[in-house]
Amino acid sequence: MSRVELRRLVESLALAMLGLVMTGCRQDMHDQPKLEPLEASTVFDNGAGSRPLVEGTVARGQLRNDKLFYTGRTPTDEFVTELPVELDHELLNRGQSRFNAYCSPCHGRVGDGDGMVVQRGFKHPKSFHEARLRESPVGYFFHVITNGFGEMSSYAAQIPPDDRWAVVAYIRALQLSQNVPVEDLAAEAIAKIESHDETATESPAEAH
Ligand code: HEC
């Protein structure tokens, strides 16, 4: 064996050893001496790896003792009639973005219940512009988003409580926008409607 060949052999052996050492480390990192969540163990009599939480324990930041804010109901269980958060442009913009993402596929962009999923066969929800829903308190809408309603599932997992209130505020804005008496409109708005008379009944969702 020439010297060059010998050097190559030693080099490749060294590389192979290095590889072994490194995978060894990797394995150690993978199999740490700790219990994964819900893993069994022999530490406790019942075979569980961890202790049950002490009753009444609340994780930091998860104390939901503001009933009105988290359920939309007053202490006497009636639906609240006023938003428990400040109503401003930012809230409405947030509500619009969440409504368009999570509700419009069924309820339509203007809340008439004519979203794409409904057009493809899902149950037709009532329009938010019918009298009963225009008169429903804000807490009712919060409650439906939180708990679902009939065929509609709960959106509590997707939409955190503050965003739910933003959606509710936006629904109110939609309800107002679809029912403004003409005399309450600014003169330019009336002129605009009159000049587009034949398209005036087209919903904004279609008109873009
Ligand atoms: C997958 C389709 C779908 C989505 C998405 C959806 N809904 Fe619904 N929603 C329905 C249907 C269908 C009903 C009627 C259910 C029934 O009568 O069984 C309904 C009912 C409601 C009602 C009750 C109306 C009444 O008649 O009292 C409210 C309020 C409501 N939805 C709000 C929302 C809001 C807000 C969102 C978004 C966070 C949302 N929905 C998302 C399909 C949907």
Please tell me the residue having the least CA distance from ligand 1 atom 38: 103
Q: Where are the domains of the chain?
A: 67-181
Q: Is the pLDDT of residue 155 over 90?
A: yes
Confidence of residue 18 (pLDDT cuts 50, 70, 90): confident
99 CB-contact burial (10 Å; exposed 0-12 / middle 13-18 / buried 19+): buried
Q: How far apart are CA 39 and CA 22, in angstroms?
A: 28
Residue 54 structure tokens: 């002490």
Inter-CA distances, 168 with 27, 28, 38, 50, 144, Å: 52, 52, 38, 41, 10
Please tell me the residue having the least CA distance from ligand 1 atom 2: 106
Please tell me the residue having the least CA distance from ligand 1 atom 8: 152
Name the nearest CA neighbour of 165 among 65, 67, 98, 76. Answer: 98
Q: Which residues line ligand 1 (CB under 6 A)?
A: 102-103, 105-107, 117, 122-123, 125-126, 133, 141, 144-145, 149-152, 155, 159, 167
The pLDDT assigned to 22 comes to 66
Please tell me the residue having the least CA distance from ligand 1 atom 11: 125
Q: How far apart are CA 85 and CA 92, in angstroms?
A: 11
What's domain 67-181's architecture?
Orthogonal Bundle (1.10)
Confidence of residue 10 (pLDDT cuts 50, 70, 90): confident
Q: How far apart are CA 192 and CA 186, in angstroms?
A: 10
The pLDDT assigned to 180 comes to 86
Question: Which atom of ligand 1 is found nearest the CA of 164?
Answer: 38
* Count of Cβ atoms closer than 10 Å to residue 156 Cβ: 14
Averaged pLDDT, 154-174: 98
Residue 139: CB partners within 8 Å, gap ≥ 6? 71, 72, 73, 74, 78, 79, 80, 81
Q: How far is the CA of 182 from the centre of ligand 1 (A)?
A: 29
- Residue 123 has what DSSP assignment? -
